[in-house]
Structure 1
Amino acid sequence: MEMKHNIKKLGYFLLCIFVLLILYLSYLVLQQGEELATHPQNRRMAAREAGIIRGTIFDRKGVVLAETKWLGERGKRVYLTENHVSPFAHVVGYVSEKYGSAGLEASFSKELLGLTDADALENLLDKIFNRTPRGHDLVLTLDASLQRTAWQALNGRRGAVVALDPKTGAVLAMVSSPAFDSNAIDQAGVWSRLNRDEENAPLLNRSTQGAYPPGSAFKIVTGSGILARQTARPADTIQCPGYVVVDGNRIADNRAHGKVDFIKALALSCNTYFAREGLKLGWDGLVHTFNQFGLNQSPALGIPVRPGTLAVKERRNRSQLAESSFGQGDTLISPLHMALACSAIANNGVIMKPFLVKEVCKPDGKAVRVTESSIWLTATSPEVAALVKEGMIAAVNWGTASPAAIRGVDVAGKTGTAETKTDRQPNSLPHAWFVGFAPANDPKVVVAVVVEKSGSGSRVAAPIAREVMAAALFRR
């Protein structure tokens, strides 16, 4: 009797295990199936790809950025490079038999291989007629010429440049330096060397995943919150003695600015003004503004994007608030997010959804999918955006951003010099930042630049932005 009871319990146990296995497999198929099938490390996908001509990736003007060339019976992916380094490496990515894929090559793999649900009939006909399958092409929003300009302007320094059209959200340039040669990923020793280089981190896309204190470039965000919540009126003035004391902590400014109002404080980058007004704004107001500008979000761009972060709740005291208000403290933001925040000022308070892929096309050029511009967020009001823009124009005309001036063009800009000193690196130079747009009253391009540990934003980042903005305006 006892044996029957034990057998019965064992049967129930096995039945439960069997049911759990069915549920788990169902979950994998229904919920995770798509992700696992298209995962860059999926060897079945790699084996299937061997018999397909992978689609070509073009820039916005038809320049080939990646294509498949056939060597005998095998296809080899070939990427556009410059002196054995690709300025497009972090965006376009790579396809490797050993290491999978990355960038748009990974996220648009099914389209490039022609393996979407819409391609099922075409793939069946290819089998019936014994034709070699060919995937779809991608037409990107990137401008290869502008990408090269930004790459050359960085001149090998660690940093990033993002340029976009504020009216559409199209990303015109996205450069991360240093980069790598996408054609050499599978060569002996290359992968391990790239991964071992922790100081330069060439595989890191600094444009979207770099986490930097934004310094005074962040004042366009804080300033928007101050004006929107009316903690200060634009004409209200304070006296800047060159420092501010918060809870006994003396926070130094770049100099004594004397009597300043909002426009002058933004143009001359007065930390004292933004620290004092940021304290009035409060943590609730700063966090709300941060979120309104989408700095805490990751837009669906097709490549990984790190959301920006403020200090965790345990560290949100008044000193941290004062420093965070002018882009220091624990604030960390990517260049893409700063470009999007700047585009809100350029576009009357509205941030358009950023995108990198303009069209997915058949080999004959017929578009099967076109990305339409759409609003992502409303960050602030047109009135507030206009006031911040006025301060940014003043910054270029007679303030800290004057090295970004372009002859014959009104430019709006804001520099940032973000301190990076730590106990371990007390002599570390600051990150150089610039965000801006041109022409100021009819913006065609927004640019964000960061150069790691290189000095002041005015001296280092603003001239790079000037080159990129001028190229975007005059080489169309």
Structure 2
Amino acid sequence: MKHNIKRLGILIIGLLAILVFYLSYLNVVRGSEIAANPHNRRLQEYEGQVRRGTIYDSKGVVLATTGLSGEKNKRVYPRGHETAHLIGYISEKYGRAGLESACDRYLLGLEGADRARNYINKLLGREQLGGDVTLTIDSYLQGLALDMLGKRRGAVVLLDPRTGAVRALVSNPGYDPNKLEEIWPQLIQDEDAPLLNRAVQGAYPPGSTFKIVTAAGALAARPDAARQTFNCQGFLEVNGYKLEDTAVHGRVDIKKAIAVSCNTTFAQLGLDQGAQNFVRTIKAFGIDQDPGIGLPVRPGTMASPEAIIPTELAGSAIGQGELLVSPLHMALVAAAIANSGDLMKPYLIKTVKDSMGQVLQREEARHWLNVATPQICGIIKDGMVDAVRSGTATAAGVAGVQVAGKTGSAQNPHGQTHAWFIGFAPADQPRLAVAVLVENAGSGGSVAAPVAGQLISTALNKGY
């Protein structure tokens, strides 16, 4: 009997020790993460107690700050529509979104010394302060990209291929987060989906811009494809299906095929490399991943491997079929080629400081994926340079700067083709990579390429 009581006592003490350890772990190790979870109802309580920190662009321009409305803190977004999808919002009624949500634990002072400092301030009845976040975004380029989209639905992503720093991430149409409470009913009923961040959550067939990925896979599977020529007769028959081309291009090599955007050549290259190599290349570019930029990114999707029959493979090789990607992923495709196959991890947050200016986090350039060899990227780059010099992408040209690019006009079930452009500049030493998508707008060469050209020109003139 005594032994049983002793064993029971040991068991109870053991369970209590485990409980104490687990509660300590939750409080000390994961406390700030749990406190900042968007599903935590106490967040709104923190909002009422803490003066939320400021979000700045890379030049120190205020993108989100806290003012007073009567006796309550009120979040203010000086750039309004321009940064709505990027910064997001804070609302008692509708929750939180964007970087406002992702950076909660910093902005509410739940990290670093601010956590203890604010606890003391609360006890002493003093104001509690959150930390500040500085982004890689340039608000001028952000506004310019939005202006160039005008009233058209679409997205623009601009980044530095050497580091992964995102300079602009734009989705249109948008909304004014300063008036969220008033306009919410209209936003959720609007058929144009203004709450959707098309740059990272949009799912689009990439059209001919995806020929860059197909080329990389074909050259990796068979290096002699660089010396091969193809005879384009204006169509390709695949198991009884006739895949039409935009023209009869005659004999072309892979560089010329990129420049003139030859469907026949790239459908054949897709078939030649086979479904396994094609899928492997898509994964190598990180298209099936969320790269973790602080905003949720929709991974690209395609037909299941067993469903990639020859007709599907030929269609996917030219960016059609069941293939769907986001504009961010296509900007990363351009960035990978620009950086000789070394794809850097994209990021939006440059620095995080606590309420006393102490740096809590400083993002540095980090390698993410090895996409292709420098030799393969060099071949593809030459074709992209020719596309801007004399092919389908001449409208992306910038005076005095060699631009490399690829256009796309993606068929879709919702009307006119989506207009695409991806590219980078200067081609010899790339500092900028871009993706432009304009929904149901027609030709990528005449619609998306000029947007990219103007954005690249302005960014280079600003010293990027």
Whether the 8 Å contact between 2:275 and 2:305 is mirrored in structure 1 is no
Kindly indicate whether residue 443 of structure 2 is the aligned counterpart of residue 456 of structure 1.
yes
Cα shift at 1:313:
3.2
Q: Write the letter of the residue equivalent to 1:241.
A: Q
Cα shift at 1:229:
1.2
Q: Give secondary structure in 2 for the equivalent of 1:115.
A: coil
Q: Write the letter of the residue equivalent to 1:430.
A: T
Instruction: Identify the residue that residue 9 of structure 2 maps to in structure 1.
Output: none
Whether the 8 Å contact between 2:114 and 2:354 is mirrored in structure 1 is no
Q: Give secondary structure in 2 for the equivalent of 1:86.
A: helix
Kindly indicate whether residue 454 of structure 2 is the aligned counterpart of residue 467 of structure 1.
yes
Kindly indicate whether residue 390 of structure 2 is the aligned counterpart of residue 398 of structure 1.
yes
Q: Which of 247, 268, 287 lines up with 1:295 in the alignment?
A: 287
Q: Which of 172, 189, 192 lines up with 2:185 in the alignment?
A: 192
User: Alignment length, in residue pairs?
Assistant: 446
Whether the 8 Å contact between 1:41 and 1:101 is mirrored in structure 2 is no
Q: Deviations over 1:90-136 (max 9, x none)?
A: 11110001111100000110100101254332123323443201101
Q: Deviations over 1:395-447 (max 9, x none)?
A: 000100110000100000000010114xxx5xx21000000011001111101
Cα shift at 1:41:
4.3
Q: Which of 61, 74, 77 lines up with 1:76 in the alignment?
A: 74
Give the whole-Å Cα distance in 2 for the aligned partners of 1:232 and 1:176. 41
Cα shift at 1:33:
7.2
Kindly indicate whether residue 53 of structure 2 is the aligned counterpart of residue 61 of structure 1.
no
Whether the 8 Å contact between 2:56 and 2:63 is mirrored in structure 1 is yes
Instruction: Identify the residue that residue 260 of structure 1 maps to in structure 2.
Output: 252
Give the whole-Å Cα distance in 1 for the aligned partners of 2:154 and 2:357. 36
Cα shift at 1:362:
3.0
Q: Which of 419, 427, 452 lines up with 1:440 in the alignment?
A: 427
Q: Give secondary structure in 1 for the equivalent of 2:457.
A: helix
Coordinate RMSD, CA, aligned: 2.2
Instruction: Identify the residue that residue 332 of structure 2 maps to in structure 1.
Output: 340
Aligned CA distance change for structure 1 residues 191 and 42 (closer, same or farther; 3 Å): farther
Cα shift at 1:224:
0.6
Kindly indicate whether residue 206 of structure 2 is the aligned counterpart of residue 221 of structure 1.
no
Kindly indicate whether residue 138 of structure 2 is the aligned counterpart of residue 143 of structure 1.
yes
Whether the 8 Å contact between 1:344 and 1:350 is mirrored in structure 2 is yes
Whether the 8 Å contact between 2:112 and 2:360 is mirrored in structure 1 is no
Cα shift at 1:46:
0.4
Instruction: Identify the residue that residue 6 of structure 2 maps to in structure 1.
Output: none
TM-score (norm 1): 0.90
Q: Which of 115, 119, 122 lines up with 1:120 in the alignment?
A: 115
Give the whole-Å Cα distance in 2 for the aligned partners of 1:433 and 1:223. 18
Give the whole-Å Cα distance in 2 for the aligned partners of 1:32 and 1:313. 39
Instruction: Identify the residue that residue 6 of structure 1 maps to in structure 2.
Output: none
Give the whole-Å Cα distance in 1 for the aligned partners of 2:253 and 2:43. 60
Kindly indicate whether residue 348 of structure 2 is the aligned counterpart of residue 379 of structure 1.
no
Whether the 8 Å contact between 2:114 and 2:355 is mirrored in structure 1 is no
The 5 Å alignment of 1:350-429 reads 350-421=342-413, 428-429=415-416
TM-score (norm 2): 0.92
Can you give the 5+ residue segments of structure 1 that lack an aligned partner in the other structure?
1-17
Q: Write the letter of the residue equivalent to 1:192.
A: P
Give the whole-Å Cα distance in 2 for the aligned partners of 1:379 and 1:193. 43
Whether the 8 Å contact between 2:106 and 2:354 is mirrored in structure 1 is no
Q: Write the letter of the residue equivalent to 2:387.
A: A
Cα shift at 1:368:
2.2
Q: Write the letter of the residue equivalent to 1:150.
A: A
